[in-house]
Amino acid sequence: MIVSYALKGKVGVITVDSAPVNALSHAVRSGIANALTTAATDHSMAVVIICAGRTFIAGADITEFGKPPQEPSLNQILEQLDNHPKLTLAAIHGTALGGGFETALSCNYRIALKSAKVGLPEVKLGLLPGAGGTQRVPRLAGLGPSINLMTTGNPIAASQAAEWSLVDRVVDGDLLTEAVAYAEQLVAEQAPQKQARNGQLILSDADRDAISQQRELMRKKTRGETAPQRILDCIEAAELDFDKGLDRERELFIACMQDPQSTAMRHMFFAERAAAKVDNLPKDTSLLNVARVGIIGAGTMGGGIAMCFAQAGIAVTLLDMSDDAVNAGIEKITKNYAISVKRGRLSEAQVGGIMANITPTSSYNDLADMDLVIEAVFENLAIKQDVFKTLDGICKPGAILASNTSYQSIDEIASVTSRPESVLGMHFFSPANVMKLLEVVRGAQSSDTIIATAMAVAKTIGKVPVLSGMCYGFIGNRMLRPYAREASLCLMEGATPAQIDGAMERWGMAMGPLAVGDLAGLDIGYKAREQLTDEQKGEPATYIVADRLVEAGRLGQKSGAGYYRYDPDTRQRVDDPQVMTIVESACQELGISRRVISDDEIVDRLILALANEGAKILEEGIAQRASDIDVVYCFGYGFPRFKGGPMHTIEAMGLERAVARINEFQSTLNPGNWQLATILAELAASGDSLVGYHRD
């Protein structure tokens, strides 16, 4: 039974049992409504709502959004609770989230296990709490906690919820026993049927200033997102009469539901969860135990990777060529953690515990017992092959040997070992201790076991894993090339760096492409190009300016100048006329006449180049599904979640329109750059979905 009702003495107990997370599906809502009706007229003196399984109700059922509504609605149930003749109590374990927490807030009392968390994460789905949460929380907890809970969407511990008057009692032990006892006690004491709706929020001038400041902050922190601003509108409306406040909440909730931003963010919610799944993996695939991890290379990347594992409580052996090199790496990690302590993110004691998980070494022999070794040395095939030859001779049988390469062939790396089935790519993104994305790269011979283990390990260390097949640059960096190409070409054809970056940032990208180049260092691409033939380098117009900048000593942020100049104190970027002199002379040299380019053209060229390459990656089977590509871009490349990744973006734009625009670019720009992906042409013609596309 999804929802059952039973009397425990004088207490009616409604139990929701709808795996995995007791979401408020139609069946759950109907079950609760029926049980409340029964409880209204039976012999019970109080009603407890409790859940089976791992959590209290984790919210509305997101899979039902966008489908025709079915009664009873959640708001109808909450009305039933508001008017219920018996005392009502929510008994919370796991995570009471969104509509689940709103259900609890409509009960007269709330009891929670110490380990429980409560929250209103709707903002992460481009929504706002739409079942009275925006009106009840301010009445119970006041302004500050309401802003915190609803604009961040982050859950809080039961103890914090109790401090904010959102939970009445926090307990250890058996929740049902505690809840029934509490209900009996409340009845015996003739406790009032408290209702959050009867509370009041009075905003002072200082409160109004605080809301304005929060609006400004959210405009910066969640640039382009509409839900945070609407949440603040609802909080302001909590000053009104409760029913008027609810009307305002309803109006803005519907606006959010109809906003393409929420469609995109809900797509990302499911995309993130789908990405962790490997297609066609035999059910009996066993996972290896990863308790000891070796990392080769104590530079920025290796050090960042070491931090990820050490923070997850996994023992790390960090290796570099000499004691000096590895000690320098440890020193850098220590400095990073000192900043975390200074900012209050970690305590000294926590850092001590993490650092104790890292053992430095300069001897490969110390890697003999490792379960997983990740190589993070210089991006050069011969050097990486040397490392893997050594590992092959030292590591125990069955150890997973991973390369953090961004471009090299996993197969060529595996070929120098006697165990290619144990070799795969684990591509972290810089800074590795911060960026959530991890591309798990499958070589031709990588075994199912190591792929499944790497995907699981990624989750253990808090990463979002995406499986990629083998190709140059894998999913993310391969797509970046046409994106960066179009940025460079727009610069040559008439735009300025500020126009290109500004257009992309206003569209929603965290950072424009040229500013990203400056951040990463323009010398990296320059050095990589030095190894390439003219043919491999491609059109000179795509790299001439970058080359000239590097040759002028402008390596990007690290040298204080690149496509921009950087203020030495604030690191603020400033337009630099010298750059335009370089651009204009490069145009003259290549015979390119500049024209006016619109922001729309810049955005379309960059986004469509990205998505067209993504579609090719999909049809080649490099990515398992379109939504994986969206996860790569949103978690690794600063693509805005509220646009849902490049594949969702062109689906939302309309594939027919996207194809027409690509074809237009093919006829007006360099046709070689605009070869339409076959599946885009096919799907646009058939009207089928790209995001739902699955390669047979």
Residues that bind ligand 3H9 (CB under 6 A): 20-21, 23, 55, 58-63, 74, 95, 97-99, 102, 121-122, 125, 127, 129-131, 133, 270, 273
Q: At residue 138, what is the residue type? A: P
Residue 166 φ/ψ region, left for φ over 0, alpha for ψ in the -120 to 50 degree band, beta for the rest: alpha
Contact 244, 236 (CB under 8 A): no
Q: Which residue, 150 or 629, is less far from ligand 3H9 as judged by CB?
A: 150
Please give the DSSP secondary-structure letter assigned to residue 436.
-
Query: 18 or 499: whose CB is closer to ligand 3H9?
Result: 18
Q: Which of 83, 28, 30 is nearest to 52 (CA)?
A: 28
Cα Rg of the chain (Å, integer): 28
State which residue, 133 or 497, has the beta carbon closest to ligand 3H9: 133
The two three-digit tokens of residue 294, written as one number:
């070796």
Nearest approach, Cβ of residue 459 and ligand 3H9 (Å): 9
Burial 247-269 (b: 16+ CB within 10 A, else e): ebbeebbeebbebebbbbbbbbe
Residue closer to ligand 3H9 by CB (options 60, 484) is: 60
Q: Residue 92 in contact with residue 104, Cβ under 8 Å?
A: yes
Distance in Å, CB of 97 to ligand 3H9, minimum: 4
> Closest separation between CB of residue 437 and ligand 3H9, Å?
17
CB closer to ligand 3H9 out of 273 and 657:
273
**Nearer Cβ to ligand 3H9, position 105 or 394?**
105
- Give backbone dihedrals phi and psi of 504, rounded to 5 degrees, phi first: -70, -35
Q: 25: buried, middle or exposed (CB in 10 Å: 19+, 13-18, 0-12)?
A: middle
Give burial (CB, 10 Å; 0-12/13-18/19+) of 418: exposed
Q: Which two tokens stand for residue 635?
A: 């978690």
Residue whose CB is less far from ligand 3H9, 125 or 351: 125
- Are 306 and 297 in contact by the 8 Å Cβ rule? The answer is no
Q: Just list the catalytic residues.
A: 406, 427, 439, 477
State which residue, 265 or 413, has the beta carbon closest to ligand 3H9: 265
* Bridge partners for 13 per DSSP: 6, 48
Among 97, 16, 102, 93, residue whose Cα is nearest residue 62: 97
Decide whether 130 or 556 has the Cβ nearer to ligand 3H9.
Answer: 130
- DSSP assignment of 292-306: EEEEE--SHHHHHHH
In whole angstroms, how close is the CB of 12 to ligand 3H9 at the nearest point?
25
Q: Are 405 and 374 in contact (CB under 8 A)?
A: no
Task: Kindly state the smallest distance separating residue 128's Cβ from ligand 3H9, in Å.
Answer: 7
How many other CB atoms are found less than 10 A from the CB of residue 437?
Answer: 22
Tokens matching residue 74: 């959640």
State the minimum distance, in angstroms, from the CB of residue 462 to ligand 3H9: 12
| Least distance CB 548 / ligand 3H9 (angstroms) | 49
Minimum CB separation from ligand 3H9 for residue 250, in Å? Answer: 9
d(CA 379, CA 297): 11
- Reduced to 3 states (helix: H, G, I; strand: E, B; else coil), residue 403 is strand
Which of 158, 180, 144 lies closest to 14, judged by CA? 180
- Residue closer to ligand 3H9 (CB basis): 69 or 577: 69
Return the number of the residue (20 or 397) whose C-beta is nearest ligand 3H9.
20
> Smallest distance from the beta carbon of 467 to ligand 3H9, in angstroms?
15
Helix (H) or strand (E) holding 177, with range, is helix 175-188
**Cβ of residue 263: shortest distance to ligand 3H9, in angstroms?**
13
Residue 240: strand, helix, or coil: coil
| Helix locations, 276-367, DSSP H | 300-311, 323-342, 348-355
Q: Rounded distance, CA 278 to CA 276, Å?
A: 7
Structure tokens at 112: 């929670």
Q: Which residue has the tokens 């809840």?
A: 179
- Distance in angstroms (rounded) separating the CA atoms of residues 378 and 302: 11
Residue 645, Cβ density class (10 Å: 0-12 exposed, 13-18 middle, ≥19 buried): buried
Query: Given the complex with ligand 3H9, which of 269 and 526 has the nearer CB atom?
Result: 269
Instruction: Say how far apart CA 477 and CA 542 lie, in whole Å.
Output: 16
Task: For helices 474-493 and 544-551, give the axis angle rounded to 10 degrees.
Answer: 90
Strand order in the sheet with 169-171: 3-8, 11-16, 46-51, 87-92, 109-113, 169-171
Cβ count within 10 A of residue 502: 16
Nearest CA among 246, 219, 243, 372 for reference residue 306: 372
The residue (of 99 and 646) whose beta carbon lies closer to ligand 3H9 is: 99
CA distance 516 to 578: 19
Residue 201 CA neighbour count, 13 Å, CB half? 28
